[in-house]
Each structure stands twice: as C-alpha cells, then as structure tokens.
A = this chain, B = another copy of it.
C-alpha cells in the first residue's frame, strides 16, 4: 500500500501517453497541444507538464514505449545461417517493423520533423540495439573467415549509417514494399562486399 502513489503516477504517465498518441493519430502531431491532451483527460495542463516538460519529452516517451517494445526485432537469428544471410534477414525484419510503425503512426513524420534537431534518448537506445546486432553479425562473418574488419564495432556503426536509406522513415515512405525489399537486398550485397575487404 505504501507504493500506491508511485503506481498512480506511473498510471497517469501511461494515460497521458495513450491519449497523446490517440489525439496525434486523429488530428496530427503539430495540431495537438499539451493543453488539448490535458483537456481530453480532464486534467490540468500543469499536471501533464509535471510528467512531460515539453512536447519533445512526450515524443521521446512515445517513441521509447514503441521501440523498447520492439524486442522481437532483435531476437537471435539462426546461427547456422551465414553472416550475409543473417544481415539480410535482420535488415528485412527492421524494414518490416518500420513500415508497420509508419502505418500505425502516420504522425511519425511530423514528430521526426518537430524533433529533428533533438537527439532523442529513445532513438539513441534503438540505434544502439541495431549496432549491437550488426556487431554480432560482423563478428560471426569474421569467425566464418568471410569478413576482415579491423574494428567490428566501428564497422557496425558505419553499416548502421549506410542502412539509413532502407530504414529511415523519411527515406522509405515514398517507395512501395517491393522496391524497398529489392533495395535492401542491394544494400546488403554492397555492405557484404565492403566487409570482405580488410581496409574496411
């Protein structure tokens, strides 16, 4: 019972996030204010501000709730598969996830634009998960004798940059899935070619 107030604060936080997402979906990210969210929850804006000090903090929390729950994108890959195949499976898994994110949250573009100069914690954590998985795949490729990187962590960082063209929402929204899957195959082929070179 001593924990009740804390639990209540967490519930309030979750309520705010769910309502914010619902309103963003209905009216768009830019059109909805903190006051609108408070009003829809019969709360005072001050109460919402107590939990989220800015709309950017709200975006960070919404993105965090989604991305931290996207654990299925990072479950282990079949270790019998060669590294190149693992890389392709992983990239296609992420691409599929991102296309679903875009469909479920069409306001994602307004959110990206509004927070474009902010470094969101949720985004950093998600990127770190991607780099970690890429690092595992690269080390697997080195164990196979296929890849010859001097620094697998650094290579994973560069590969994550390179993959933007098939993973970043802004860069994938205009293309159909077939095009994106083909592009993912080409980019993975390119990455696989680079990682075979010890200069990489």
Interface residues, chain A, with chain B CB atoms under 8 Å away: 109-110, 112-113, 116-119, 158-159, 161-162, 164-166, 168, 170-171, 173-174, 183, 186-187, 189-197, 199-200
Besides A164-B168, A189-B200, 19 more A-B contacts (Cβ < 8 Å) are A109-B113, A110-B113, A112-B170, A113-B113, A117-B173, A158-B187, A159-B190, A162-B162, A162-B165, A162-B187, A164-B171, A165-B165, A170-B170, A170-B171, A171-B171, A191-B194, A193-B195, A193-B197, A193-B199
Chain B contacts of A194 at CB under 8 A?
190-191, 193-194, 197
Chain B contacts of A158 at CB under 8 A?
186-187, 190
Contact B116 A173 (CB under 8 A): yes
Q: What CA separation (Å) do A71 and B174 show in the bound complex?
A: 27
Q: What CA separation (Å) do A174 and B173 show in the bound complex?
A: 21
